[in-house]
Amino acid sequence: MAHESFEDEEVAARLNENYISIKVDREERPDIDHIYMAVCQAMTGQGGWPLTVFLTPNKKPFFAGTYFPKSRKYGRTGIMELLEQITEKWNEDHEKIREIGDQVIQDTTSRLLENKQGGSISEGTLQKAFQMYERMFDTEYGGFGSKPKFPTSHNLSFLLRYYKKTGDAEALAMVEKTLEAMHQGGIYDHIGFGFSRYSVDEKWLVPHFEKMLYDNALLAMTYTEAYQITGKVKYAEVAEQIFTYILRDMTDEGGAFYSAEDADSDGEEGKFYVWQPDEVVNLLGAEEGDLYCELYDITEEGNFEGHNIPNLIGTQLEAFAKRKQIPLEELKQRIEASRQKLFLEREDRIHPGKDDKILTSWNGLMIAALSKAARAMDKPLYAEAASRAADFLLQNLRREDGRLLARYRDGEAAFAGYVDDYAFLVWGLIELYEATFELRYLREAVQLNEEMLRLFWDADKGGLFFYGSDSEQLLTRPKEIYDGAMPSGNSAAALNLLRLAKLTYDAKLSQKADEQLQAFAGAVSSYPPGHALFLAAIDFAYSGSSEIVIAGDPAQSGTQHMLGIVQRRFLPNALLILHPAGAAGEEVRALIPLVQDKTPLGGRATAYVCQNFACQAPTDDTEELEDQLARG
């Protein structure tokens, strides 16, 4: 609608004649988007974007819809016609329209504030969720449900936790099937790396070519966790490729990360990403070009509107190498050489537009992803990138009074942060502490978490409102708990509260964590798969956490070796703390009391592995540390 209608002089003239037009960026103002999407759903039974809402002068919504062409098309009312009709109705009986607005507000408020009562959560909720995921799983192509398919990675992360907890091989099999299918599909950019937002078909071939920062952050986390739990290097390689894309194409000079890349370029969706066989052969030569086209499904007929999206669907590299009688490592080297040439050629094309907004919430997710990978893969570069981004946010996305802000662009920070901004950044800072052991990041996490509770906590019913008590007050103050394309701020906050309560030994935070879990028990128990990250919080709370303290000099190889042993493992409910000697140790003890009596034995790096604060015997032996971690 932006190009078709809002930039059209005829439409603009009619709008300006009778209306005050406000175009809202839903990523800058997710509070407005959240509430008025509920208005649209209440009025029409469905929603989507672009979202079109008409309000009275006193801001009461009375008509809502999604896309309207300029003129009537395929039976769909055009915006020109709609504007005329609404103007006539308003002039005829604006009191009636005001009454409609009152009713819409009442219905929407009821919808947003609906609180399912009577539910309870327990470890049994996790089993119920797993059984429902099993029923929804696409055994042929991976993923859940039918087309369009979204890479909801937090579903997969929950299944990894369930496998870790129960040993149920089916949970891991669902994850591996999905991760491999997504990476083989056209939803993955095999030339420049990174995932698109979703696939329009069930087999992950044709993407909606838009690339989102949050998708790539969440997927990088899941591929990293899959690497940790299976030891399969191919999953680490996918995560590394995602980070290559992010650090190359989506990183601001200040270190923070941009939001998205558009689906279209030069007026055509996917044009930047598709190929013809002759383009590939002319660039690579006949032998290498034919090999690449055969491997990546690039044909004369095409697999997407006469063009080709490179993909590996149905292809196993090992089998292809064997059939072609090419040693596997040689094939990989040739593919990589071809990819690099194709990438450089593609760089000369008109690029998709880049949304260079820096969003606090999405950056928090990428900080968490980089920090996890830095630990799991021993990649200091990723920890450095996460630190630069965190420092940028902490320096540039705060008001003078310290209040967190939501968006930075062209030197301007704006919009009071939402619960997602706080929850996701706190998540990222906790992960970053465990990657760097720089105590300042944990201090910032504690401070931001306190501010979040002060501004967003519902003192009557528990849980966190979507926007703060100091923000612009809209029709109502909703709470979001559903984990959709992104997990909800309330789910992330539940896990943060549990982790920070353990780390800081703060009874008040522990109480808040319990209240957070109970506040949403009804919603979560009624449909567990819709709350995957919240399920991770339930697992943490009910299965028990581990506290692992490595006491020693961080400059010594023995200390680093012990840290590495822990960091490489998939320990989702573990907290890892470094307890150095001297003044640095005093600072750690002041913030993390549980390290108080945990010191090096004989001056050597020593590990303390505890379960709910009950510790196994301290050890300075790495093999014994491995055994203790394996025991639980």
pLDDT, tens only, 279-328: 999 999 999 999 999 999 999 999 999 999 999 999 999 999 999 999 99
pLDDT, tens only, 475-497: 889 999 999 889 999 999 999 99
* pLDDT higher than threshold 80 for residue 64: yes
**546-631: CATH class:** alpha beta
Q: Where are the domains of the chain?
A: 2-112, 125-265+355-543, 273-348, 546-631
pLDDT, tens only, 418-466: 999 999 999 999 999 999 999 999 999 999 999 999 999 999 999 999 9
Burial 352-380 (b: 16+ CB within 10 A, else e): beebebbbbbbbbbbbbbbbbbbbbbebe
Residue the block writes with tokens 């401070």: 447
The average pLDDT across 138-164 equals 95
- The pLDDT of residue 417 is 98
Q: How far apart are CA 313 and CA 287, in angstroms?
A: 22
* pLDDT higher than threshold 60 for residue 118: no
Which band of pLDDT confidence, cut at 50, 70 and 90, is reported for residue 209?
very high
Contacting residues for 430 by C-beta, under 8 A, at least 6 apart: 441, 442, 445, 496, 499, 500
- The pLDDT of residue 116 is 54
Do 2-112 and 546-631 fold alike per CATH? yes
- The pLDDT of residue 496 is 99
Max Cα separation, the chain?
A: 89
Peptide bond into 593 cis (omega under 30): no
- The pLDDT of residue 1 is 66
Contacting residues for 157 by C-beta, under 8 A, at least 6 apart: 221, 222, 225, 532, 533, 536
The two three-digit tokens of residue 622, written as one number? 């790495």
Q: Which of these ranges, 104-113, 275-284, 325-334, 587-596, has the smallest mean pLDDT?
A: 104-113
- The pLDDT of residue 546 is 95
* pLDDT higher than threshold 70 for residue 117: no
pLDDT, tens only, 169-194: 999 999 999 999 999 999 999 999 99
Q: Report the candidate in 404, 430, 423 with the shortest Cα–Cα distance to residue 415.
A: 404
Q: How far apart are CA 185 and CA 202, in angstroms?
A: 10
Q: Report the candidate in 348, 340, 355, 370 with the shortest Cα–Cα distance to residue 247.
A: 370
The average pLDDT across 364-384 equals 99
**125-265+355-543: CATH class:** mainly alpha
Query: What CATH homologous superfamily does 2-112 map to?
Result: Glutaredoxin (3.40.30.10)
Extract the runs of DSSP E, i.e. beta strands, from 388-520. Answer: 405-409, 412-416
Contacting residues for 504 by C-beta, under 8 A, at least 6 apart: 446, 591, 592, 593
- The pLDDT of residue 219 is 99
Numbers of helices and strands, H then E, in the chain: 23, 16
**Phi, psi values for residue 227, rounded to 5°:** -65, -45
Supply angle C-alpha 155, 158, 160, rounded to 5. Answer: 115
Q: Which residue has the higher pLDDT, 279 or 121?
A: 279
The answer to whether the CB of 114 falls within 8 A of the CB of 524 is no
Which band of pLDDT confidence, cut at 50, 70 and 90, is reported for residue 146?
confident
Interstrand relation of 546-551 and 574-579 (parallel, antiparallel or unpaired): parallel
The average pLDDT across 41-47 equals 83
The average pLDDT across 263-286 equals 96
* pLDDT higher than threshold 80 for residue 110: no
* DSSP 8-state assignment for residue 594: G
